[in-house]
């Protein structure tokens, strides 16, 4: 990935979305030739010279102090995810020519302890994924929720490929547009943290060429901290079910545990119990199976 181009496009996109009125600047009725703020206006708001800010926007973030980055973030009114992305871009920008990208995978397997944790969440659908969205394991309730698509013999499944390349994704994720926005933003955030990850670079390249929906979202430079979100999924057994998705970092393993929780006393809680009962019934019928398959990714 071209780090300087990433920085330039990110800062330019944040500047272009901000109007002088939003930034608290007078316009005096002038006719502007650029969308959003001018570079000199951002420089003034950040308290740096125009030349210095222009250099930052050209991709030269290496060596910029935290104080300067914080001032730029305030000037551009960056939210938490965007500010963290700016810091990641600065910290991973080489002052010298870029070193060769690493091809060594960061995660080669799943520790038995992690498998035990998700299997122990008997009343909560849960799966474990890598930062590049490869789902490595899912507990029995989560496998049932996804209509068998996350069964052990089909894993790993890349969630990004499924979402953007498999038409079944729109059947499962009822708020597909929002989920797609969030996932693209999460990948953009990860790219800022780990620019030399070849698997991530290859994934972004593949999705950009095969999916116009992804390419459009990637070009927007939006970032997302994936912590918690409301989601509505469709399941062929219990119908439409609304959860809160919670993402928990397993820092020592470089993995993320995603668990779906239902509000106490909600219809979703009753639907989960129905799904648990269906699982018990299926165990009594050894040859029962589900039909959806997302592992092919397209």
Domains and CATH numbers, the chain: 3-91 (1.10.260.40), 112-283 (3.30.450.180)
Q: What pLDDT is attached to residue 32?
A: 64
What confidence score (pLDDT) does residue 97 get?
44
pLDDT value of position 116: 93
The model carries a pTM of: 0.76
Chain-centroid distance, C-alpha 282: 34
pLDDT attached to residue 294 = 47
pLDDT of res. 95? 56
Q: In the chain, where does DSSP find H-type helix?
A: 3-16, 20-23, 39-46, 50-57, 66-75, 80-91, 112-120, 140-145, 159-165, 169-172, 176-193, 198-210, 212-219, 267-283
With H, G, I as helix, E, B as strand and everything else as coil, classify residue 253. helix
Q: What pLDDT is recorded for position 98?
A: 44
The SS3 call for residue 245 is: strand
Mean pLDDT, contiguous 10-residue spans, the chain (298 residues): 84 89 72 77 88 90 87 91 91 57 51 92 93 94 90 92 92 94 94 88 93 94 86 94 92 91 93 93 65 44
User: Residue 175: helix, strand or coil by DSSP?
Assistant: coil
pLDDT confidence of residue 107: 46
* pLDDT value of residue 215: 95
Task: Retrieve residue 77's tokens.
Answer: 């009114």
Which pLDDT score, from 0 to 100, does residue 173 have? 93
Q: How many CB atoms lie within 10 A of CB 213?
A: 17
């Amino acid at each position: 990935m071209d780090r300087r181009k990433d920085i330039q496009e990110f800062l330019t996109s944040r500047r272009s979305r901000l109007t002088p009125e939003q930034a608290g600047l007078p316009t005096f009725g002038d006719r502007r030739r650029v969308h959003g703020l001018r570079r000199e206006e951002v420089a003034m708001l950040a308290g740096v010279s125009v030349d210095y800010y222009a250099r930052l926007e050209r991709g030269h973030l290496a060596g910029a102090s935290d104080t300067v980055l914080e001032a730029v973030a305030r000037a551009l009114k960056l939210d938490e995810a965007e500010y963290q992305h700016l810091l990641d871009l600065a910290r991973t920008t080489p002052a010298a020519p870029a070193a060769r990208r690493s091809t060594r995978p960061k995660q080669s397997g799943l520790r038995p302890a992690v498998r035990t944790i998700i299997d122990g969440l008997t009343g909560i659908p849960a799966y474990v994924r890598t930062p590049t969205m490869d789902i490595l394991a899912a507990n029995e309730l989560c496998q049932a929720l996804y209509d068998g698509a996350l069964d052990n013999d089909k894993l790993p499944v890349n969630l990004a490929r499924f979402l953007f390349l498999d038409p079944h994704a729109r059947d499962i994720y009822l708020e597909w547009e929002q989920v797609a926005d969030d996932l693209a933003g999460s990948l953009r955030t990860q790219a800022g943290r780990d620019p030399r990850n070849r698997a991530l670079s290859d994934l972004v390249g593949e999705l950009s060429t095969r999916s116009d929906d992804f390419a459009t979202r990637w070009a927007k430079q939006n970032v997302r901290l994936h912590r918690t979100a409301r989601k509505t999924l469709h399941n062929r057994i219990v119908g439409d079910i609304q959860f809160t998705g919670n993402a928990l970092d397993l820092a020592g393993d470089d993995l993320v545990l995603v668990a779906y929780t239902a509000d106490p006393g909600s219809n979703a809680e009753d639907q989960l119990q129905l799904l648990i009962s269906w699982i018990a019934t299926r165990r009594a019928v050894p040859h029962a199976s589900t039909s959806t398959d997302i592992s092919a990714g397209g």
